Amino acid sequence: MAETITLEVARYSPERDAAPAFQSYPVPLRKDWVVLDALNYIKDKVDGTLTFRWSCRMGICGSCGMMVNGEPKLTCATFLSNYAPGPICVEPLRYFPVVRDLVIEMTDFMVKLQSVKPWLIRAEEKPLAEGEYLQTPDELNAYKQFSMCINCMLCYAACPVYGLDPLFSGPAAIALAQRYNLDSRDQGSRQRLEILSQHEGIWGCTFVGECTQVCPKHVDPAGAIQQYKLTAAKEWFKSLLMPWGAK
């Protein structure tokens, strides 16, 4: 018989359970299998009621984020062999409400993401005939790192500030706001600053730094927030010294 490893999977049925409980599933320990493969094996061969999100299986879609042995991970990029001999504890992403089993409710994140206006804002659109907005490689590099975010929400699950204060905008939303602020084509930084300079915005962050550690795309949301704080502080000083300046 092939070698196996046990997955301790958090199960929660809203119709039946008051709280999640763990269920053990032995799965084949294959060198090329990731945690997501094991979950799909359970769903296909052992227990079809197990519920979880996944899509691309290549670390692009950001759907399969879960807590693996207490750490936020993309399960499509987390190999079983790294946890041998096991067991491996799989739970839904921390700090989010659980809908069922490993599926979390993400509307709070989506609302916050939308609130920071993560799109190009132009004071005035250039006529189409003048062509596209061009950028130099340096202008692209200014924000490229922050544009790699895949909205997987691992950073929220790693952020104790978000856990303690659910009103906090959170790492990914702020990093994406910064991504557009640094884009040479964007003119909406003042609009975003009004939203993010509130207490629940950038000032809620106490620089724990774990968001950056768990980010599978090396976005460095913690760095983005601190850089945003510097910008906000400079803007505040400018408004203090030149109150007649443009709002």
Partner 1 sequence: MRTSEVNRTTEYTLYHPRWYRQRVSTYWWLWKWPYLKFVLRELSSVFVAYFVVLTLAQVRCLSAGPEAYAEFRQWMKNPFFLLLNGVSFIFVLLHTMTWFNLAPRAMVLRVRGARVPDAWIAGANYVAWLGVSGGVAWLLLR
Residues that bind partner 1 (CB under 8 A): 12, 14-15, 17, 19-20, 70, 94-95, 97-99, 105, 107-108, 138, 141, 160, 163-164, 206-210, 212-213, 220, 222-223, 226-227, 229-230
Q: Which is nearer to partner 1, 54 or 95 (CB)?
A: 95
56-93: burial string, b at 16+ Cβ within 10 Å, e else: ebeeebbbbbbbbbebbbbbbebebeebeebebbbbbb
Contact 90, 8 (CB under 8 A): yes
Question: Least distance in Å: CB of 97 to partner 1?
Answer: 4
Question: Least distance in Å: CB of 149 to partner 1?
Answer: 17
Distance, in Å, from the CA atom of 70 to the CA atom of 119, rounded to the nearest integer, reads: 33
Question: Least distance in Å: CB of 246 to partner 1?
Answer: 25
Q: Which is nearer to partner 1, 22 or 126 (CB)?
A: 22
Q: Which is nearer to partner 1, 24 or 107 (CB)?
A: 107
Q: Which is nearer to partner 1, 85 or 97 (CB)?
A: 97
Amino acid at 68: V
Question: Least distance in Å: CB of 234 to partner 1?
Answer: 12
Question: Least distance in Å: CB of 212 to partner 1?
Answer: 8
* Dihedral (Cα; 91, 156, 167, 12), 10-degree rounding: -10
Q: Which is nearer to partner 1, 37 or 220 (CB)?
A: 220
